[in-house]
Copies of this chain bind each other. A is one copy, B any other.
Amino acid sequence: MPPAPGKFRWRIPATPAKLAEMSLRFAILGLLTAGELSGYEITRRFEQSVGYFWHARAQQIYPELARLESEGLVAGRAVQQTGRPDKRVYTVTARGLAELADWVVTPSPLTLTKDEFLVKVWSYGLVEPERAIEALTAHRRQQEERLAAYRAIEAAFEGADPVTVPPAFLGPYLTLRAGIQFIEAFLAWAVEAERILRARTESPPAP
């Protein structure tokens, strides 16, 4: 029996908890709108192109696909293969597509970044500028590699005018551009930061 009202009120958890988030389901649905994919192929996508704004490991993807299928948002189909293991590929159902379209225009919470590298930068004052520069350079190199990979994908869009491409290419193009512009912003920042750190090795500040 619930305690008598007075001190506080009951707050009934109206919906099955987690109306917000659930981005993984929709990220998977989004990938599947381009055509049928297996769990393994989805895993690869998260490691590559899509990885810029969402990612998940195989261990998360397989159970989520099973859940999506049991809810009727995707439909699976077994595919026999020779020379490699059989697989199960999935397509979005009409209901899945409808739910995705609804979710897409829903307001998003402010992206709360978690950037381990910047947590480190916050404490760069604790170490010799030279050592900070080393760490910064290593990180910059990684980002440059990633930029090169995205540029290669961008080249595949070459010539296509984003204003007239078919709807299916619009989102991929826009997110790719976002990824590229973020990395470029990071690189510009890194150059500035390195300049400051280098100047501090020459004229160390008053302690």
Chain A contact residues, CB within 8 Å of chain B:
21, 23, 26-27, 29-30, 33, 50-55, 97, 100-101, 103-127, 131-132, 134-135, 138-139, 142-143, 146, 162-172, 174-175, 177-178, 181-182, 184-186, 188-189, 192-193, 196, 199-200, 203, 205-207
Contacts and interface: CB of A to CB of B under 8 A. Distances in A.
Contacts of A168: 125
A27 B112 CA distance: 15
Contacts of A124: 104, 170-171, 174
Nearest to A133: B105
Contacts of A196: 162-163, 170, 174
Nearest to A110: B142
A127 B139 contact: no
A105 B131 contact: yes
Contact of A125 (B163, B171, B181): B171
A55 B52 CA distance: 20
Given A107-B138, A178-B189, 13 more contacts: A23-B114, A29-B123, A53-B113, A53-B114, A53-B119, A55-B114, A107-B135, A108-B120, A111-B115, A124-B170, A125-B168, A126-B167, A163-B196
